[in-house]
Structure 1
Amino acid sequence: MNHDESRALYDRALSVMPGGVNSSVRATQPYPFFIERGDGAHVVDADGNRYLDYVLGYGPLLYGHDMPEPVRAAVQSHASEGPMYGAPTEVEVKHAEFVSRHVPSVEMIRFVNSGTEATVSAVRLARAYTGRDKIVIMQGGYHGAQESTLVEGEPGDVHPSTRGIPESFAEHTIPVPFNDFEAVRDVFETHGDDIAAVLTEPILGNKGIVMPVDGYLEHLRNLTEDHDALLVFDEVITGFRVGGLQCAQGKFGITPDVTTFGKIIGGGFPVGAIGGKSEIIEQFTPSGNVFQSGTFSGHPVTIAAGYEYLKYAAENDVYDHVNRLGEKLRRGITDIVEDQAPNYTVVGTDSMFKTVFTREGPADLDGCCPAGCKQRESCPRYDYCPKNGADVAKADTERWKRIFWQEMKEQGVFLTVNQFESQFVSYAHTDEDIEETLEAYKEAL
């Protein structure tokens, strides 16, 4: 493939943007390819190269790059009538009503501008509602670029994970390993009266896609209820992708007190949201005393896109299609891995997928999960499958970034740049696209 134009654009970008990009995950070696346009399940770069796209904007593009006609019409209509007003609009009410009808935890919702803003606001809300300061998070979980959760370490020895955050922020955050029953129970036994909330993704989605083991989410629900703390699900990635319109909480049958959203809920436009029980969400100003506000919150173009996005999914076979293709892709990759790289672990559910370059595996793969790790204790691979972020970090992450990702790109398949980020199937993908992708996997592995 020729990348002369992308190389030239990157050279220009380095002079005016740090690292030549506006989000660190877009940086690739030796330089990123620059996208010119999207086309269904594909993107086309500045040099005219065409790629099957499984990044999908890191999750928001449930329909790929061609919006369904009702979505396109709504976006064009609201944009032409004026971009925003600094006053409420009817479509905000419609979207809030739609979400509250379908998501088990949501009685009220506050729309904001990003997933990060949603989780920042959720942490503030939990602390105000409970009158406590400490937040329990999962090691390897990701809740946006916010000071309260950009931490690392073990309980009792926690530090900011990036420069620029005072140590004092980390004092109120307790990271525990995902899927570790004993670790989180011990934390509550020690700090239970000071814990405002457990903040977790129901599925780790920024660390290779790690499913909860049987009973773990129930364990968190019980612990928080026993100690009068809140359970906050970060469904920025899983929301309206896993579990359909009920989200991951519906799939697992666990109802949190508060849920944060982003990505799909805005139909591909910048968005975030915080939903939950009315008595909690009403603590936000102006009905309560927890300050939360934003110039662009509830932006009519974004909200119209999100509303029509989800309405279209409710009225069509969107989830049947993407979940079927997701399973077909994971099954195909599992077969390839069994033959060519039996140590590797295929992960994912619904329309999410990834291959983790784990370094160990069982001698006999008979009886293993056929379409992505489900954390089944009866599975021969159970003791080898990643159970938390640390397990994924032990994988051959450099091989993914420096060799595998490059090989797939050269075959016209666009995957997420590192070992950790989720990948997605869209409504625009076809069975033929899946077959083409599997052939690329065979070649690259």
Structure 2
Amino acid sequence: MNHEQSRDLYDRALSVMPGGVNSSVRAIQPYPFFVQKGDGGHVVDADGNRYVDFVMGYGPLLLGHDLPEQVQAAIQQRASEGPMYGAPTEVEVELAEFVTRHVPGVEMVRFVNSGTEATVSAVRLARGYTGRDKIVVMQGGYHGAQESTLVEGHGEHTHPSSPGIPESFAEHTLTVPFNDTEAVERVFEEHGEDIAAVLTEPILGNYGIVHPVEGYHEQLRQLCDEHGSLLIFDEVITGFRVGGLQCAQGKFGIDPDITTFGKIVGGGFPVGAIGGKSEIIEQFTPAGEVFQSGTFSGHPVTMAAGLETLRYAAENDVYDHVNELGERMRSGIADILEDQAPQYTVVGTDSMFKVIFTREGEFGEGHCEAGCTQNPTCPRYEHCPKNGMDVKQAETERWERLFWPAMKEQGVFLTPNQFESQFLSAAHTDTDIETALEAYKDAL
């Protein structure tokens, strides 16, 4: 493939943007390709190279790059009526009604502008509602670029994971490994009266794709209830992708107190949201005293895009289609791994998928055929990743420096490291799956 235009654009970008990018995950070595346009389930770069796109904007593009007519028309109408107003609009009420009607744990919702803003606001809300300061998070979980969760360490022995964050923020953040029941019990035994909330993704989605072991979320729910803490589900990634319109909390049958959203709920435009029980969400100003506000919150174009995307998904069996593609992809990759790399692990669910370059394991009778579900009877159970550290110990360098470039050269665009998920959309086809599986055969 020729990448001359992308190289020239990157050279220009280095002069005016730190690292030549506006999000660190785009800093692909030796330089990223620059996208010119999207086309269904594909992207075309500045040099005219065409790729099957399984990044899908890191998850927001449930319908792909070519939006259905009703979605496109709604976006264009709102944009033509004026960019924004600094006043409420009907469409934000309609989207809030749709979300509260379908997501089990959401009775009321506040829209913001990003997943990071949603989790920042959710943490502030939990602290304001409970009058407590400490937050429990999962090691390897990701909740945006916010000070309370950019921490490293174990238990109460934490420190900021980035310069620029005061140590005092980390003092109030307790970390436990995902799926470690004993660790979370110890944290509550020692700090239960001071814990405002447990903040977790239902499935680790930014550090591999790691399912909860049986009973783990139920235990979190019970511990929060016993100690008067709140359970926050970060569904920025899983929201309206895993579990359909009920989201991951519906799939797992767990009722969180607060849920954060992003990505799909904005239909591909910048968005975030905090939903939950009315008595909690009403603590936000102006109904309550926990301050939260934003100039662009509830932006009419974003609200229209999100509403029509979700309506289209509900009316056109989108989830059946994308989930079937996801199962085919994961099953096909598992067949390839069984023959070529039996130590590697296929992970994912619904329309998410990934291969983790684990160092041990084997296939056998009764293995998870379409992605690891933490099934204790699976012959791979002892070796499949249970938390973020397990994923980190996989062959991350091999994935990034050998596998990813090999897939790109075959016209398959994946998230560029071992950690972030791949996503399918309604625009992907059977041919796209076949193309990708052939590329996996060659690259692995």
Structure 1 stretches of 4+ with a deviation exceeding 6 A read: none
1:48 and 1:365 map into 2 onto residues whose CA distance is 43
2:313 and 2:156 map into 1 onto residues whose CA distance is 45
2:56 and 2:251 map into 1 onto residues whose CA distance is 23
Match of 1:371 in 2: 370
Give secondary structure in 1 for the equivalent of 2:213. Answer: coil
Q: Cα offset for 1:367?
A: 1.6
Match of 2:40 in 1: 40
Paired residues for 1:10-21 under 5 Å:
10-21=10-21
Q: Cα offset for 1:155?
A: 1.1
Give secondary structure in 1 for the equivalent of 2:205. Answer: coil
- Aligned partner of 1:419: which letter? Q
Match of 1:115 in 2: 115
Match of 2:134 in 1: 134
Match of 2:257 in 1: 257
1:326-384 CA distance string (max 9 Å, x none)? 0000000000011000000000000000000001113x522210010000011110000
Q: Cα offset for 1:28?
A: 0.5
| 2:156 aligned with 1:156 | yes
Paired residues for 1:73-84 under 5 Å:
73-84=73-84
Contact 2:156 2:175 in 1 (8 A): no
- Aligned partner of 1:157: which letter? H
Give secondary structure in 2 for the equivalent of 1:260. Answer: strand
Q: TM-score, normalised by structure 1?
A: 0.99
1:379-426 CA distance string (max 9 Å, x none)? 110000000000000000001110100000000000000000011000
1:158-207 CA distance string (max 9 Å, x none)? 01011110111000000100000000001001000000000000000001
Paired residues for 1:264-279 under 5 Å:
264-279=264-279
| 2:297 aligned with 1:297 | yes
Paired residues for 1:392-403 under 5 Å:
392-403=391-402
Q: Cα offset for 1:68?
A: 1.2
Give secondary structure in 2 for the equivalent of 1:323. Answer: helix
1:239 and 1:246 map into 2 onto residues whose CA distance is 8
Match of 2:229 in 1: 229
Match of 1:410 in 2: 409
- Aligned partner of 1:214: which letter? E
2:38 and 2:198 map into 1 onto residues whose CA distance is 38
Give secondary structure in 1 for the equivalent of 2:74. Answer: helix
2:55 and 2:364 map into 1 onto residues whose CA distance is 29
Match of 1:85 in 2: 85
Identity %: 78
Contact 2:105 2:276 in 1 (8 A): yes
Match of 2:386 in 1: 387
1:161 and 1:408 map into 2 onto residues whose CA distance is 31
Paired residues for 1:282-361 under 5 Å:
282-361=282-361
Q: Cα RMSD (Å) of the superposition?
A: 0.5
Give secondary structure in 2 for the equivalent of 1:336. Answer: helix
Give secondary structure in 1 for the equivalent of 2:52. Answer: strand
Give secondary structure in 1 for the equivalent of 2:404. Answer: helix
1:12 and 1:177 map into 2 onto residues whose CA distance is 42
Match of 1:187 in 2: 187
Structure 2: runs of 5+ lacking an equivalent: none
Give secondary structure in 2 for the equivalent of 1:29. Answer: coil
Q: TM-score, normalised by structure 2?
A: 1.00
1:335 and 1:43 map into 2 onto residues whose CA distance is 27
- Aligned partner of 2:88: which letter? P
1:251-282 CA distance string (max 9 Å, x none)? 00001000000000000000000000000000
Give secondary structure in 1 for the equivalent of 2:355. Answer: strand
- Aligned partner of 2:222: which letter? N
Match of 1:420 in 2: 419
Q: Cα offset for 1:121?
A: 0.1
- Aligned partner of 1:38: which letter? G
Contact 2:156 2:173 in 1 (8 A): no
Q: Cα offset for 1:77?
A: 0.1
- Aligned partner of 1:144: which letter? G
Count of residues paired in the alignment:
444
Match of 1:444 in 2: 443
